[in-house]
Amino acid sequence: MPVPGYRDAPALPWQPEATVDSAEAAEFIRRVHTDQPGLGPAEPRLAEVAAEIAATGTYTHTPAELTHGARLAWRNASRCIGRLYWKSLVVRDRRHVTGADEIFSEVVDHLRTAGDRDRKVIRPVITIFAPAGPRKPYARIWNEQLVRYAGYRRPDGSVLGDPRYVDFTTAMAERGWQGKREAFDVLPVVVQTPGDGVRVFDLPDDAVWEVPLAHPDLPWFGDLNLRWHAVPAISNMRLSIGGVNYPLAPFNGWYLGTEIGGRNLADADRYNLLPLIAKLMGLDTGTERSLWRDRALIELNRAVLWSFDRAGARISDHHTESRHFITHCAKEEKAGRVVPADWTWIVPPVSGGITPVFHRYYAEIDQRPNFYLDEDARDLATSGRPQLHRPSPRPSPRPHQHALHQHPQPARCPARGRVPTPRLPLRPAVPQSR
């Protein structure tokens, strides 16, 4: 039985118009009162919630419920290796904000709070906007993350920028957005609200912290002019708390180096930089036996970690974060809880077998509160176009990296690797010659 949210299994289809499930609501309220004895007994609140659901089909979370619910959703996010810090999530309650301009300005504030370049801190933050519900049209953001880079298809079929966002970029151009046509052009943010329709906003430069990449001992690396944004902020997942759904609740943590060095810049269908780096390192790319891919991959990952450290932008390495995840598991087990986790996402895409998370299995269960990626939200984030006639939910052809999540991979046998084969005629985003 495929478990929703694991591997290729989609989230359970969501009906925005449906009445809140009272059992799920009650279970959540009890959980909050058990975890936070200061709130007093659950019974009065349970009665209140039941009455509100009976009258309106939904109920309104108290600020304490909202905050705890969001933290529990993080704790239950099976693809996230960084859950040791779940209690530190900063929750911004913006349920009253509904206009597109106001939503966008909150998004900008979110990014400034999450990545504070002056103080050199990155904090995990979530901004929660109004929930969906019966007869309640809701706002959403189309983008997969608040900060992402455009991709432009060249006449010869190769791509400048991030190939993942070629269609999204085209759709934005059709709406009149103009990029600089460079390898790291920050895409605009699309806010859709019931009142204002679809609006496209450019992020102000000071809200986007970017880290230029260089290498501690390969002097030419800096000349590649690579960079990456410091704050990964997922913006198209639905936060589900006690039966109430928040389709617009962007959240961020800080990066694990391998997300950038092992996937975004390395994947053959993303920036595909390994062949270029190997060539510049003088490695023999004519044979797999030189392990040129692996050697280039390691130096790319060193560059990412070194550059983020140099910039004062918080980043984890996969060895440390793997140990922290094991600590998290031990803490949770001690508290009598299971840790839902998806091995295929938890194990880092670089040096998996030499991290402790590789050497065990995890409970594959769907626990709420949680974050869910709906099919239409996923399509919208790469296509930039609403699909009018969508077939019933189906698994994506190939999992892609997402969310709290650090790397998606096809379900695979741990003993075999995945050899990246370019699917498109890709050219690195940067010039081949020095």
**30 is an active site residue:** no
Rounded to whole angstroms, the Cα distance separating 273 from 122 reads: 27
Chain CA centroid to CA 343, Å: 17
Number of residues counted as binding ligand ARG (CB under 6 A): 14
Site string for ligand ARG, 236-275 (x = CB under 6 A): -----------------x-xx--x----x-----------
Nearest of 253, 241, 261 to residue 367 by alpha carbon: 241
186 belongs to the binding site for ligand ARG (CB under 6 A)? no
Site string for ligand ARG, 81-100 (x = CB under 6 A): -x------------------
Instruction: Specify the stretch interacting with ligand ARG by CB under 6 A; choose among 87-95, 105-113, 242-250, 397-405.
Output: 397-405
Nearer to ligand ARG, 31 or 112 (CB): 112
Three-state DSSP state, 229: strand
405 belongs to the binding site for ligand ARG (CB under 6 A)? yes
Rounded to whole angstroms, the Cα distance separating 138 from 301 reads: 40
Q: Token pair of 307, please?
A: 């550059």
Rounded to whole angstroms, the Cα distance separating 157 from 153 reads: 6
211 belongs to the binding site for ligand ARG (CB under 6 A)? no
Nearest of 322, 284, 270, 277 to residue 298 by alpha carbon: 277
Candidate list 7, 75, 83, 92, residue with the active-site label: 83
CB of 74 to ligand ARG, least distance (A): 10
DSSP annotation string for 154-187: -TTS-EEE-GGGHHHHHHHHHTT-----STTPBP
Q: Token pair of 121, please?
A: 């801190």
The torsion angles phi and psi of 95, rounded to 5 degrees, stand at -65, -20
**83 is an active site residue:** yes
Nearer to ligand ARG, 97 or 350 (CB): 350
CB of 234 to ligand ARG, least distance (A): 6
CB of 161 to ligand ARG, least distance (A): 14
CB of 310 to ligand ARG, least distance (A): 19
305 belongs to the binding site for ligand ARG (CB under 6 A)? no
Rounded to whole angstroms, the Cα distance separating 300 from 278 reads: 10
Candidate list 65, 144, 259, 321, residue with the active-site label: 259
Candidate list 65, 79, 80, 343, residue with the active-site label: 80
From residue 396, give the alpha-carbon distance in Å to each of 9, 148, 197.
Answer: 9, 20, 28
Chain positions contacting ligand ARG, by CB under 6 A: 82, 145, 232, 234, 253, 255-256, 259, 264, 401, 403-406
Please identify every residue annotated as catalytic: 80, 83, 254, 259
